[in-house]
Structure 1
Amino acid sequence: MPHHSTPRRFSYLSLAAALLFAATTARAQGPGLDRAPTPVNPELVARPSFRATRTTTPVVVDGTLDDAAWAAAPVLTDFVQQLPSTGYPALFRTEVRVLYDATNLYIGAVNYDPEPQKAITVGLERDFVSSNSDIFGVVFDTFNDKRNSFLFLVNPKGAVRDEQTFNDSRNIVEAWDGISTVRTRQRDSSWTLEMTIPLKTLRFDASRDPQTWGINFIRRVRRVNETSYWAPLERQYRVHRMSKAGTMEGITGLKQGRNLQIKPYALAGNSVGAQVPSGSLGSKADIGGDLKYGVTPSLTLDLTVNTDFSQVEVDQQVVNLTRFGILFPERREFFIENSGSFTLGDVAERNYRMGASLSDFTLFNSRQIGLTKDGLPIPIAGGGRLTGRVAGWEVGLLDMQTQRAGTSPTENFAVARVRRNIFGNSDIGLLAANRQATDSSGTYNRSYGVDANIRLLGNLIINSYFAVSDADTASSDGTAGRVSAAYRGKLWNTSAMYKRVSDNFDPGIGFVNRRGFQQLYGTTGIHARPKLKLIQELNPYVEADVYTDLDGTAQSHNLTAALDIFFQPDGELKLEVNDWFDRLDRAFTPFPGRSIPIGRYNFRNAKATYTSTQRYPVYGNASVQVGDFYNGTNTTLSGGLTWRPRYDISFEGTYQHNDVALPSGAFAADLAGVRLKYAYSTTLFGSTFVQYNTQSRSFVTNARLAWRYAPLSDVFLVYTERQNTFTNVRNERSVAIKVTRMAAF
């Protein structure tokens, strides 16, 4: 087998040593002189708590906080900075009040700001991009298990972003939709908000009386990059970290009602195109719907009939110059909700470098249900999901039935998941999945997995799993396993992992991007906070990611030395150099007509990425990568630019250019996209997205208009087109109007 190598241009060990030494030295200089002398340690300070106040006086949600009921609630304040100066008192005062009655929670907040007109609002649409905006937020751990939560974020114009989280922020479901009513007001020296959250939108155990819930509040002032919390958090944590939250105590007499929601839909549309499944071609008028029922206070049943996702935004294309597949994110509401209950695989941990993520392996991938490999819909007859808690176990059951579409047979998909908390903030679990054709063929694929996620001493985590696949053909029988350990403190961030996937491992309802290997991964680095006016944090680190065959023969590796610089008040520059090795046992075609032959390849590259501050109307990012690519070279330029002339409109552009030169011929792989978003109000907004990919030679257009005319009730108008520019064949063109109506009881 031929061996290809390029001259060594980077001295990785010396660079890594220099980066670590420089950052450690900078850290030793201590905190800046302009900071207060008495910060608290978020890891050691006692968690705050307060006693909930029940009200019998009506609260009118208008953003003013002038109802008499608010006077009875304790004022929660003394927020502590997470950024930029961890542990110091917040510079911008926040006052929070909480009330409740039998059916609602009421949150009131006064967000003091000497110049409230300068508060930054980014978007009026639901689930706005909260990282770019001033926000106030509240997160609830309704079972006080210190693991799962419901989050509500509000910007100064009253837009809401809500999320559901599992496993102490390990799984975050950003597309979860709760019911809430919010009003905000701008004052001379503050902006204020009032929020009502119906208890029926949350899950809790009404049989417990009185109750204690975990709770935390967040405030962000974007123009100075200040993020502060009521229950202090170290800078590596997010608001969802419920193991670090405070508590709301003495909650009594809560009622969930019948906890029944019915959401029917009516749809009219038309679809044409070469890749549209035959059952979806032509004009279509249809009805269907979803039902949600609280079987017990802690167990929820979801049913769906004639399931439709025509309002979902299309997948964004990518340029893939690797040998491995790509996992696209789930965007369909039914599968997103409570998805964390079914997760088993390479789960990432925020602010830990783990060497793998769910894009490498997950035992359950809901995109296997009702979608072709090209992301086009396969009709779903219906199904059900049961999630919640039973006798100390977190449980998840899912069963879905698809219909025949072209060459795709009718299939049944079933998943069962159980998980139990141990040692406080750790868990063990099991998952079983079955994919079976329900036609005469009877083909099946089954997979089983066990996992354990152990957290010790707060910052040391040990993750492991073992999975088996079993199918009607032996070519899909195999195993996968992993064990990893990681530590993240104030200074050090280090982890190690071992993973093994057999040649024939093939989970039929999962995703695995690589088979037949052993993986060894290790990394170490520091997070230094130097006494430098313009620098917030320096993060130098090194990584080694090594793959071998199952017998130990070298397969590939990537050795990295990197430096991440976080500026003050925000912005980021990342510099990295990489040493690659890859053994090709078969020819590899990264671009149509361009192949890389069998061989052993050593190559190196360097990359720089800059992300600007997002405090101004124009912001963006840029990246350049130069170096070798197998037996050739590759220069990649990429970037994105966003312009927000006002809070309710934005223009976004992205571009990536790959200039590759190989002995088999040169090529350019380009990906360009443009997005326009406009929100008339917090209930009426639209977007248009256009993207062109020269690698797949495809042009995609997606335009959506959404009107939320009542809680969780919407009207959608959607247009989608996919065109192959090489053959000039239209793969898909569809237009649909869909109306949903949610009724809660």
Structure 2
Amino acid sequence: MASKLGILRSVFAILLLTEPLLAQGAVVPDTARGAIDPETAPRPEGFAVRTSAAIELDGRLDEAAWAGAPPITDFIQSQPNTGYPATELTEVRVLFDAKNLYVGAVCHESEPDHLTVTSLERDYQTLDSDVFGVALDTFFDRRNAFLFWINPRGAIRDAQAFDDSRTRDDAWDGVVAVSTSVADSGWTVEMAIPWTTLRFRPTQSQQTWGVNFQRRIRRNNEDTYWAPLERREYLHKMSRGGTLRGLEGVRPGRNLTVKPYVRALRAAGDDIVEEERGNDYDAGLDLKYGITSRMTLDLTYRTDFSQVEVDQEQVNLTRFQTFFPETRDFFLENSGMFTFGDVRGLSGEPRTSVSLRDFTLFHSRQIGLRNRSPVPIVAGGRLTGHVGEFQLGLLNVQTGSFEGDPAENFSVVRLRRRVLGNSDIGFMFGNRQATDSGPAQYNRSFGVDANIKLLNNMFVNTYFALSRSSSADNDEAARFSVGWRDRVWDASAMVRHFGEAFEPGIGFVRRVGMRHYYATFGAHPQPRIPHVLSINPYVEGDYITNLNGTLETRTGEVGLGTTFLDGGRLTLAYTNLFERLDEPFPVQSSVVVPVGDYSFGEGSVSYQSSGGRDISGGLRVSGGGYYGGTRSTVAADALWRVNYHLSFELSATHNALSVQDTSFTADLYSARIKYSYSTKLYFRAYVQYNAATEQVITNLRLNFIHAPLSDFFLVYTERRDVSGGGGVLERFVTAKLTKLLAF
């Protein structure tokens, strides 16, 4: 007990010591004294210029038209020195003609040999690379944006952002042409965005858009923006964006695309039923149509996801089910529109102990998957967009019967309305219904929610949901949370309730039959410590009872996180736990924890190095009690980036447990190779070994982009039993060709 009190005293001492540091102006280094305040700084304005001359995309900006466009400069740091001018000059110019919007950027660099490029793949990880970013708020609503990030070798990542950066659709892909060049003085970006890629009001002859530009200088871990942002904010924080004027006489086009595919597959293995072995051929298509400038219809027929990378294996040592994230493009696109549950914001909202991995009223993996195996999707449709002040999402998908399970229809309705500036209230309805069975089998769920932002730093999140099925009566779930986060402090409190029979058939809920209370308090200052960007001491606790008020789970944690100027992060934490088991808990088939009360603690230390280095990695070590026994965990990962073409990754997790006089391990190992020949041709190899199941899963994927948003995939997937007497359980070889047709 004395040691625990000592840890608590240490953490609170750190919290108290930050106060005089802040009073002395130690939030940022001395070099940033007198910097502007992003919260009060005026929003900048830039101008686009029409050109009649042809623009050749060669990454040079040597056409006369570029010289005639006014430069956009004066980028401001968000980190490491918030509000201070960027350490390197960035010049942006914007042109347009009848077909395209052109953005050119000259990124001056005093150390060009230290440019960091991590990949040539589309939708690469931008955090670890030098990048130039563009955010276009085409409706000038200060909430939504099209996003584009380009690295010095011409790789592009694009996305759509909604609700002033609270949600982001990373699966969205637009037709964009990009060229870059690297010289002794820095690097240059030249990009053309067709008007058909964007959505905007065609009735306005004079267009005024919200806009922001980003420059990341990875060697300094420096993020800079044209329209200044706080350290906790992102490029798509459009309420703080600048304004782009000068666009006139442009139209978005018809916005109709059709993407057919053909696919050949060969299946084999002991777990593949006889009638599904051998060769199979299929074809289908996706259609996207912009009904209005703010409403999009997506249709899919005979949907196929055979090119998607396999799920990453997980070790579950808890009493509750495991959450697997969505990886299929059709469901990832516009997924933010259908978010409802224990959300975590993207714009620096306070810490909380829950996320969508704990509860979401709609989890698209309920559609087209059964025990992580694919179920045929016959057809589906999705309508998303805005109707007046309302944001609307409709989804309907029909699946076929599968191994004795009936065909099902899934429907989702999502409605949200903006209130109080950057807040919203909403409604969701979901229905899952068997369509080829006798008596009606259904599951329906309803919910209302609100996400309120007050005083610029306070957040209120609440929801109430009901579920009902053909086999169970109504039951409910509810949450209310309030949090505060400013430049130094953060705090939040939350209460949740889940009924015993609450079961949304189209969603995911990790734990039911409980009431959950949570609170946390912490700080994240930038003190005067060499090589340190920020420190984050915190305390947090959970108190969970059953519906009768009897304690079931209690946790208390104290921790200290340190973020370094190079991007590395070190975290120390100690957690004290109490668990009451009302029924036996099978940790594994041969080890069962009996009914009873269990108190134990766990300490952990982790370090993740900067991902921008050629060799990087992370290590997490934890150990302590576990239901009357012990558990220790060592998790490590390593990345060797040979160059921006080739990289190797290794990861290992070793769990050693001793429970009920039985010792055992639960281990996972994986290896990944990424090779990018160019921005159009990639190869990936991924191998996983799960020691608990004694299975090896292999996934090899070749992707050739033969035309804009048109792909050829060659995929090999295998699941093999390596226990000694087994063999190949599943093996799939797939060839798939897609072609985007624009009208």
Whether the 8 Å CA contact 1:23–1:540 is kept in 2: the answer is: no
1:512 aligns with 2:498: no
1:68 aligns with 2:64: yes
Task: Please state how far the C-alpha of 1:417 moved relative to its aligned partner.
Answer: 0.8
Q: Could you list the per-position Cα deviations for residues 112-140 of structure 1 after superposition, in whole angstroms to 9, with x for gaps in the alignment? A: 00222321100111111111111001011
1 CA distance for matches of 2:496 and 2:203? Answer: 43
Mapping for residues 273-312 of structure 1, pairs under 5 Å: 273-276=269-272, 280-312=276-308
- What residue number does 1:3 align with? none
Pick from 685, 697, 702 the counterpart of residue 699 of structure 2: 702
1:392 aligns with 2:389: yes
1:686 aligns with 2:683: yes
Pick from 198, 201, 215 the counterpart of residue 202 of structure 1: 198
Cα distance change of structure 1 residues 449 and 273 upon mapping to structure 2, 3 Å threshold: farther
Q: Could you list the per-position Cα deviations for residues 489-521 of structure 1 after superposition, in whole angstroms to 9, with x for gaps in the alignment? A: 011111111110100001011010110011111
1:267 aligns with 2:256: no
Pick from 140, 144, 149 the counterpart of residue 148 of structure 1: 144
| Equivalent position SS for 2:673 | strand
- What residue number does 1:364 align with? 362
Whether the 8 Å CA contact 1:184–1:192 is kept in 2: the answer is: yes
Task: Please state how far the C-alpha of 1:551 moved relative to its aligned partner.
Answer: 2.1
Task: Please state how far the C-alpha of 1:440 moved relative to its aligned partner.
Answer: 2.5
- What residue number does 2:111 align with? 115
2 CA distance for matches of 1:359 and 1:337? Answer: 19
2 CA distance for matches of 1:422 and 1:296? Answer: 23
Structure 1 stretch displaced more, 431-440 or 612-621: 612-621
Aligned length: 738
Task: Please state how far the C-alpha of 1:242 moved relative to its aligned partner.
Answer: 1.6
Task: Please state how far the C-alpha of 1:169 moved relative to its aligned partner.
Answer: 2.0
Q: Could you list the per-position Cα deviations for residues 409-441 of structure 1 after superposition, in whole angstroms to 9, with x for gaps in the alignment? A: 111111111111111111111111110000133
Partner letter of residue 355 of structure 1? S
Partner letter of residue 169 of structure 1? S
Cα distance change of structure 1 residues 277 and 297 upon mapping to structure 2, 3 Å threshold: farther
1:602 aligns with 2:599: yes
1 CA distance for matches of 2:674 and 2:13? Answer: 45
| Equivalent position SS for 2:165 | coil
| Equivalent position SS for 2:127 | helix
- What residue number does 1:660 align with? 657
Structure with the larger RCO, 1 or 2 (CA within 8 Å, 6+ apart): 1
Q: Could you list the per-position Cα deviations for residues 122-180 of structure 1 after superposition, in whole angstroms to 9, with x for gaps in the alignment? A: 01111111111110010112222222222111110000111222222222222221111
- What residue number does 1:448 align with? 446
1 CA distance for matches of 2:722 and 2:622? Answer: 28
- What residue number does 2:10 align with? 15
Contiguous gaps of at least 5 residues in structure 2: none
Whether the 8 Å CA contact 2:128–2:610 is kept in 1: the answer is: no
Q: Could you list the per-position Cα deviations for residues 602-627 of structure 1 after superposition, in whole angstroms to 9, with x for gaps in the alignment? A: 11011101011233210011010011
Structure 1 stretch displaced more, 660-669 or 203-212: 203-212
- What residue number does 2:123 align with? 127
1:675 aligns with 2:679: no
Cα distance change of structure 1 residues 550 and 8 upon mapping to structure 2, 3 Å threshold: farther
Pick from 710, 715, 734 the counterpart of residue 736 of structure 1: 734
1:487 aligns with 2:494: no
Contiguous gaps of at least 5 residues in structure 1: 1-5
| Equivalent position SS for 2:67 | helix
| Equivalent position SS for 1:164 | strand
- What residue number does 2:373 align with? 376
Partner letter of residue 582 of structure 1? E
Mapping for residues 618-633 of structure 1, pairs under 5 Å: 618-633=615-630
1 CA distance for matches of 2:212 and 2:601? Answer: 46
Whether the 8 Å CA contact 2:220–2:565 is kept in 1: the answer is: no
| Equivalent position SS for 2:8 | helix
Whether the 8 Å CA contact 2:585–2:592 is kept in 1: the answer is: yes
- What residue number does 1:217 align with? 213
Cα distance change of structure 1 residues 419 and 279 upon mapping to structure 2, 3 Å threshold: farther
Cα distance change of structure 1 residues 170 and 277 upon mapping to structure 2, 3 Å threshold: farther
Task: Please state how far the C-alpha of 1:698 moved relative to its aligned partner.
Answer: 2.5
1:184 aligns with 2:180: yes
Mapping for residues 422-437 of structure 1, pairs under 5 Å: 422-437=419-434
Whether the 8 Å CA contact 2:118–2:612 is kept in 1: the answer is: no
Whether the 8 Å CA contact 1:199–1:256 is kept in 2: the answer is: yes
2 CA distance for matches of 1:356 and 1:278? Answer: 43
Partner letter of residue 692 of structure 2? Q
1:139 aligns with 2:173: no
Structure 1 stretch displaced more, 45-54 or 441-450: 45-54
2 CA distance for matches of 1:664 and 1:729? Answer: 33
Task: Please state how far the C-alpha of 1:538 moved relative to its aligned partner.
Answer: 1.0
1 CA distance for matches of 2:621 and 2:354? Answer: 24
Whether the 8 Å CA contact 2:406–2:437 is kept in 1: the answer is: no
Task: Please state how far the C-alpha of 1:278 moved relative to its aligned partner.
Answer: 7.3
Mapping for residues 234-633 of structure 1, pairs under 5 Å: 234-276=230-272, 280-350=276-346, 351=348, 352-373=350-371, 375-441=372-438, 442-474=440-472, 477-633=474-630
Task: Please state how far the C-alpha of 1:41 moved relative to its aligned partner.
Answer: 0.8
Cα distance change of structure 1 residues 33 and 138 upon mapping to structure 2, 3 Å threshold: closer
TM-score norm. by structure 1 comes to: 0.96
1 CA distance for matches of 2:526 and 2:23? Answer: 9
1:158 aligns with 2:154: yes
Cα distance change of structure 1 residues 519 and 276 upon mapping to structure 2, 3 Å threshold: farther
Cα distance change of structure 1 residues 28 and 575 upon mapping to structure 2, 3 Å threshold: farther
2 CA distance for matches of 1:508 and 1:330? Answer: 16
Q: Could you list the per-position Cα deviations for residues 21-41 of structure 1 after superposition, in whole angstroms to 9, with x for gaps in the alignment? A: 244444445336651432111
TM-score norm. by structure 2 comes to: 0.97
Cα distance change of structure 1 residues 306 and 9 upon mapping to structure 2, 3 Å threshold: same
Cα distance change of structure 1 residues 257 and 674 upon mapping to structure 2, 3 Å threshold: same
Task: Please state how far the C-alpha of 1:206 moved relative to its aligned partner.
Answer: 1.9
Whether the 8 Å CA contact 1:163–1:173 is kept in 2: the answer is: yes
| Equivalent position SS for 1:52 | strand
- What is the root-mean-square deviation of aligned Cα atoms in Å? 1.7
Q: Could you list the per-position Cα deviations for residues 431-481 of structure 1 after superposition, in whole angstroms to 9, with x for gaps in the alignment? A: 111100001333111111111111112221111111111110116x31111
Whether the 8 Å CA contact 1:393–1:419 is kept in 2: the answer is: yes
2 CA distance for matches of 1:261 and 1:33? Answer: 51
Task: Please state how far the C-alpha of 1:532 moved relative to its aligned partner.
Answer: 1.4
1 CA distance for matches of 2:665 and 2:30? Answer: 50
Cα distance change of structure 1 residues 434 and 276 upon mapping to structure 2, 3 Å threshold: farther
Task: Please state how far the C-alpha of 1:690 moved relative to its aligned partner.
Answer: 0.3
2 CA distance for matches of 1:263 and 1:22? Answer: 59
| Equivalent position SS for 2:164 | coil
Whether the 8 Å CA contact 2:567–2:610 is kept in 1: the answer is: yes
Cα distance change of structure 1 residues 76 and 61 upon mapping to structure 2, 3 Å threshold: same
Identity %: 47
2 CA distance for matches of 1:33 and 1:414? Answer: 53
Partner letter of residue 290 of structure 1? D
Whether the 8 Å CA contact 1:266–1:740 is kept in 2: the answer is: yes
| Equivalent position SS for 1:130 | coil
Task: Please state how far the C-alpha of 1:356 moved relative to its aligned partner.
Answer: 1.5
Partner letter of residue 363 of structure 1? L
1 CA distance for matches of 2:63 and 2:275? Answer: 56
Whether the 8 Å CA contact 1:279–1:406 is kept in 2: the answer is: no
Cα distance change of structure 1 residues 744 and 279 upon mapping to structure 2, 3 Å threshold: farther
| Equivalent position SS for 2:336 | helix
Cα distance change of structure 1 residues 219 and 279 upon mapping to structure 2, 3 Å threshold: farther
